[in-house]
């Protein structure tokens, strides 16, 4: 296993879409971690990367020149008053879990999002998912609450727990942006 020194985090590009789709597909097919039921194609993933990069960010983790994970920001809600908040997600290939890659990706993502004017990040985790809960707690996320039996996947109703953390400076004044 590589150490954190061997990791490179960079903005995602269209050429990363196939690798990101391959990392994500087992989460879609085999787990309840995401509520998508069909894995997106590489072409769909390229569209998602381009959309996130415009206003938020999409970063990839490279280990040995290969994409081993990714993290991105997306809209939390569409209404204008929510424009300073975003939802964040991180996905790693199975051999990269608990290697420091998720933490490193998220820290870089939070910096990028704060630079763009976002002040709150929220994350939802289908339960049970103690590894993800632990990662988010370690990165300063605080519990918001749990939507009970909100989604149906793999033959059962699933709960989703939501957490949030402040990005950048916490102020009572609305900043310019985000952009």
Look at residue 17 and tell me if it is in a domain.
Answer: yes
pTM score over 0.85:
yes
Contact 38, 95 (CB under 8 A): no
Calculated CA dihedral for residues 19, 22, 91, 111, nearest 10 degrees: 20
Structural domain containing residue 49 = 4-166
Asked if the structure places residue 175 within a domain, the reply is no
Asked whether residue 148 is assigned to any structural domain, the reply reads yes
Q: Is residue 171 part of a domain?
A: no
The total domain count for the chain is 1
Domain of residue 129, CATH code: 3.40.630.30
pLDDT in tens, the chain (179 residues): 344 558 899 999 999 999 999 999 999 999 999 999 999 999 999 999 999 999 999 999 999 899 999 999 999 998 999 999 999 999 999 876 667 789 999 999 999 999 999 999 999 999 999 999 999 999 999 999 999 999 999 999 999 999 999 997 666 676 666 65
Say if 101 falls within a structural domain.
yes
58 and 86 in contact (C-beta within 8 Å)? Answer: no
173 is a domain residue:
no
> Beta strands 7-11 and 57-63: pairing type?
antiparallel
């Amino acid at each position: 296993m590589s150490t954190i020194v061997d990791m490179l985090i960079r903005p995602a590009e269209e050429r990363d879409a196939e690798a990101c789709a391959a990392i994500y597909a087992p989460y879609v097919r085999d787990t309840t971690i995401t509520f998508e039921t069909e894995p997106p194609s590489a072409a769909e993933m390229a569209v998602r990367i381009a959309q996130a990069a415009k206003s938020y960010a999409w970063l990839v983790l490279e280990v040995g020149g290969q994409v081993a994970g990714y993290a991105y920001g997306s809209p939390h809600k569409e209404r204008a008053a929510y424009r300073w908040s975003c939802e964040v997600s991180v996905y790693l290939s199975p051999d990269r879990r608990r290697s420091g890659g998720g933490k490193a990706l998220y820290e870089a993502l939070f910096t990028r999002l704060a630079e763009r004017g976002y002040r709150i990040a929220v994350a939802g985790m289908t339960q049970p998912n103690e590894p993800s809960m632990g990662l988010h707690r370690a990165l300063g996320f605080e519990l918001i609450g749990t939507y009970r039996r909100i989604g149906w996947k793999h033959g059962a109703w699933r709960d989703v727990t939501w957490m949030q953390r402040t990005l950048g400076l916490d102020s009572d004044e609305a900043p310019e942006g985000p952009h």
